[in-house]
Amino acid sequence: MIVKNKFKIFSMLFLILLALILCSNNAVLATDITKVELQTILDKIPETIETDKILSTPDDYWQWTSDVGAKVQTTIGDVEGIHIETTFVRDTNTGIIDLSKVTVSLSDSNYANELSKTITIKCSNWNENDKKHIEEKLNSLNLKDESYHISANLDLSEDTDSTKFFSSVSQNHFDKLLNDSSIKTELGSTTGDWGDGVYACYSGQMFFSMNNVMYYMYPHVSVEGIPVEVIETADKTTNVSLNADTSIIPSNTVLEVKEVKSGEAYNTITESLKNVSNKFMAYDITLKSDGVEIQPNGNVQISLPIPSGYDTGKVVVFRVETDGTIIKYDTKIENNYAIIETDHFSNYVIAEQNVSSTTETDKTPIQNGEKDDTPKTGTIQYIGLAVIVVALSSIGIIALRNKKH
């Protein structure tokens, strides 16, 4: 009896082992693909693939990558036993990565056979003139994803937002190299290490874009901290003054102020303020470092002289965007100056606000460059009261029905 049971057990184990061997052989047979078969699959991928995805920020890069990979997969269909890899083409001379060129690599499950081809990604939103301009500019600078040493006015031992710091330092550095305001620079994902309080280094994706055309590279940047210095300067013609420090703007920053009295910008300002003020002075305020227009890395203080005859109790400061949007700032009045803090420079207006427009403007206060969209306390109270009334009414109806029954 024992012998029979052992025989049955060994027989079952043998059958299971045989089944596993057969399954594994079938799997190998199913996934083994020859180089000829790979070439046939690769030939299905067209030389050009079109997309309508828009590239405007580094965040769009990931959607772009996903969309390109999905379109490649669609052209060849579902094929078992192959690996597909798509990588954007990197210029070996400049280190710049072109998001319109993709190398598609196909390999079998064991990576024994591998074939690849480079295809073009055509974006319906790309302007060819923009693409040509940014390519020529980047090639002329011969930028490479190698090491860059930057001196920055910051105590690196402080508890600083490293990503924001690296981003601002890098953008200012490459903005100066490019010296072309039509090309936008922006730092993507980064990895960094703080040093001994005066030194830090990082690497990450630096994106260069013009409208919807985008390229990027992987620079390695080392940053040397320099003691922070206070910067106080004023425009002699308008008496508009700037107060900041070298952790926010470079030490050689120049303040340029022009009074806006006519032209398209003046017409936009006048139209935007027609229900707010008919008594104002407008200024085009810019910051430049080494002749290149820059924006500060954080808030700086701007003081605008209050014109003679203005009621200081009604004086406010607005920023007026090119599309006519007005942004109201918290304004401090001191020594006949209107003082604000801002992190962006364009057209600013010091105005005597109309009494009739005060109530209307305060319904949606716009301060420090941000709209206050949070619900007001009175609104929340009314909503809460309404909820209570509805709840009590429901209880009363239920009670009446129970009483009838």
In tens digits, the chain (405 residues) has pLDDT values of 554 555 566 566 666 666 665 554 444 444 468 889 889 999 999 999 888 877 777 778 888 888 888 888 888 888 888 888 888 888 887 788 888 899 999 998 888 889 999 999 888 778 889 989 988 998 888 787 777 777 766 655 555 555 666 677 778 888 888 889 899 888 877 776 655 555 667 777 888 888 878 888 888 777 776 667 889 999 999 999 999 988 789 889 999 999 999 999 999 999 999 999 989 999 999 999 999 999 998 899 999 999 999 999 999 999 999 999 999 999 999 999 999 999 999 999 999 998 655 433 332 334 344 433 333 333 333 334 344 434 444 444 444 444 444
pLDDT of 279: 92
pLDDT of 303: 97
CA distance 162 to 94: 27
pLDDT of 356: 59
Instruction: Tell if the pTM clears 0.75, that is, is over it.
Output: no
End-to-end CA distance of the chain, in Å?
A: 77
pLDDT of 110: 84
pLDDT of 154: 60
CA distance 340 to 70: 49
Question: Is residue 256 within 8 Å of 348, Cβ to Cβ?
Answer: no
**Cα Rg of the chain, angstroms:** 32
CA distances for 365 relative to 261, 327, 379, angstroms: 27, 9, 16
Structure tokens belonging to residue 383: 């909503």
Supply φ then ψ for residue 129, to 5 degrees.
-65, -40
Structure tokens belonging to residue 376: 């007001």
Q: Which residue type sits at 38?
A: L
Question: Is residue 366 within 8 Å of 328, Cβ to Cβ?
Answer: yes
| Closest residue by Cα to residue 316 from 351, 285, 356 | 351
Question: Is residue 42 within 8 Å of 118, Cβ to Cβ?
Answer: no
Contacts of 370 (CB under 8 A, 6+ apart): none
pLDDT of 173: 83
| Closest residue by Cα to residue 85 from 71, 102, 70, 104 | 104
pLDDT of 361: 38
